[in-house]
Every structure is written in C-alpha cells, then in structure tokens.
Amino acid sequence: MSVAIVRPRPAAPLALTMGDPAGIGAEIALKAWSDRARHGLPPFFLIDDPARLAAMAPDTPLRQIVEPEDAANAFADALPVLPVSLPCPATAGQPDPRNAPAVIAAIDRATDLALAGRVGAVVTNPIAKAVLYEAGFRHPGHTEYIAERCGAIGTMMLMVPELRVVLVTIHEPLARAVAGLTTEAIVATARVAAHGLAQDFGLARPRLAIAGLNPHAGENGGIGREDIEIVAPAVARLQAEGIEARGPVPPDTMFHAAARQTYDAAICLYHDQGLIPLKTLDFDRGVNVTLGLPIVRTSPDHGTAFDIAGKGIARPDSLIAAIRAAAAIADVRRRARIDDRD
C-alpha cells in the first residue's frame, strides 16, 4: 500500500472540521478560540459555514480565509474560517442528513490539506455516524474514513495526561469482540502502537502492557483459556520482534497509579476495558489520536452532545486538549524531519 509522504511547513496552522452542525462542535471551537491565550493554543482555523457561526456567536470576531496559510495572520484577532456551505439551516440538537455532504466535505478538505503539507494537523469535531449513514456514508467512523483517504491503516489511541489506551476492538458488541479476538489482531494493534508512540511521542522504546481478557487474566486457564491461547502468544511474538511488551496483565490491577508508571500505553482488548479507566481518570480532557497515519489527526473524546447543543453549556476542555495534542505531535514529527536532514 502506498502512503503519501507529508512534509508540513514549519508552524503550519491546524485545521478543525465542523463536525455535525446540529451538535456542539462549533460552540466548543468558538470557546477554544476565545480562550486561546490562556491555554497557549497555536493558530488554527475552522472549516464551517461562516453565516451560521456569525448567527451563533455575534460577538465573536470571524475572518473568512481563502487559503490555510492566511490563518496565522488572522488568528490573534479573529477566528479564521475556511468556508463550506450547508445545504440546509442547522438546528441545534436536530441533525439533518441533508447536511451530511458538507460534514464530509469539511473532513475531506482538512485531510487533503494535511496530505499536501499545508496544515500541521487535523482536529475533527464529533460527527453523528447514524446521520451520515443515511446519506450513504459507509465507514464505521472518522478513523476508518480518514485512514482510507490517506491510504493507510489507522489505529485508535485514547489518552489523558495519566493514561494512554489503544484498542484492539472498538465499536462492536462485546460478544462479537470477544468471539473475534485473535492473536494476529493483538499483534497488529501493538505494532502500530509501538511505532506511533515512537513517531508521535518521541519514545525510543515504548513499553506496552497487554491487558488480559478474563478476570485475573484467566488464572492459568481456571477462568477461561483465551489469555493462554490468544493473548500470551501475541505477547511472545511482540517480544520476539523486539517490542517491549508484557502480559497478559490482569485488567483489575493495571490501571492504578503505581501500575500506570510501568508502561507507556495499555493495549486493551475491547472498548470499555480501556475507556472506563480513562474516563474515570479524566472525563473532560480525553483525546482521540489516530496512530499509523501519514498525517496528524486528533479529536475530542466525546460525541455530538445533541442534548445540550445550542444551550451554551458545552465544555471545550476535550477539544482544547485535542488541539494541544495535535500541535505537540506535529512538532515531534517536524523536529524528527529536521534531525533527519541534519
């Protein structure tokens, strides 16, 4: 599979996508820009409909831009907006499939700009997959769609300051996730995690803790044999490849503070195994990072929040964390390219 070689320019702005226009994406983007100085946010622009943003926040200065390079000069005084028109007026809390093409167009524009090296990273606001499905969207979510557009295989990593988790299976019923779990899937996920932690976080030798599936990691087969027959062989293969991995680690003892100091990322076998401890540690600042892409992509770790959209109470913490993470990862990659040239 061929993958584009991306060479972002120094200090390239970040591109934020609109997300579902009936959700909280625009609200939290506006709040992030308003709080940019306190959080030290780098220049970014929002791909969205300027008319709807002006109606939402008449007191927030906006600046339409034509090219992403225009964002840096505008950012200090106004939120830069790269225009995309909505086919229908957006109503907070009431998603409309007729606006799905504009949502997808914003993702496409941001991704293409990143592949061309004209933005340093892509930060995606939450989408409503069920709404996009009605419009013919055929991917499980952002991660898979952007990865396909990049000609790569992306792996989801969720992180807060105290914990990083990488998921082997993601949004599928627990029974199906367990039934379909394989040694190969664990190995493939861990390989991408190890490479991503090195490339995007500057960890020369990432330490991976591979979670067990069953209580107490199966107690040597007394509580199921999956950890012996599926997980342990994956750990052995990873170690043979030179990846610092250990496990299966009992899931109930791997997330307390002392245990978290012994690894750089936890490889979790199903969604809630990783997301429950992560969201318990820091519900408001979770960040979704896609590892394995030729571009940098992050996202806030929450949904569209249709129930509170339009009420002015959405918190921008997760989006701010996603912007900061995207900028940090882009900087690590940029520095690595400079070192390679030197």
Q: Can you state the angle between helices 25-34 and 317-341, rounded to 10 degrees?
A: 70
So what's the pLDDT on residue 140?
83
The distance of Cα 55 from the centroid of its chain, to the nearest Å, equals 29
Please state the pTM of the whole predicted model. Answer: 0.92
Residue 183 pLDDT more than 80? yes
Residue 9 confidence (pLDDT): 46
Instruction: List, for residues 297-319, the tens digit of each pLDDT value.
Output: 999 999 999 999 999 999 999 99
Going by pLDDT thresholds of 50, 70 and 90, the confidence category of residue 136 is confident
Examine the pLDDT at 338 and tell me if it is beyond 70: no
At residue 2 the predicted structure's pLDDT band, cuts being 50, 70 and 90, is very low
Given a cut of 50, whether residue 3 has pLDDT beyond it is no
pLDDT for 92? 95
- For position 142, what pLDDT does the model report? 87
- Average pLDDT over the chain reads 93
Which residues are CB-contacts of 291 (< 8 A; sequence separation ≥ 6)? 154, 155, 156, 157, 166, 192, 193, 195, 196, 197, 200
pLDDT band at 8; cut points 50, 70, 90: very low
Which structure tokens are listed for 62? 């906006």
Domains of the chain (ranges; CATH) run 1-153+296-342 (3.40.718.10), 162-281 (3.40.718.10)
**Residue 203: predicted pLDDT:** 96
Q: Please provide residue 224's backbone torsions phi and psi, each rounded to the nearest 5 degrees.
A: 95, 150
Mean pLDDT over 50-61 rounds to 95
Q: What is the mean pLDDT of residues 255-278?
A: 97
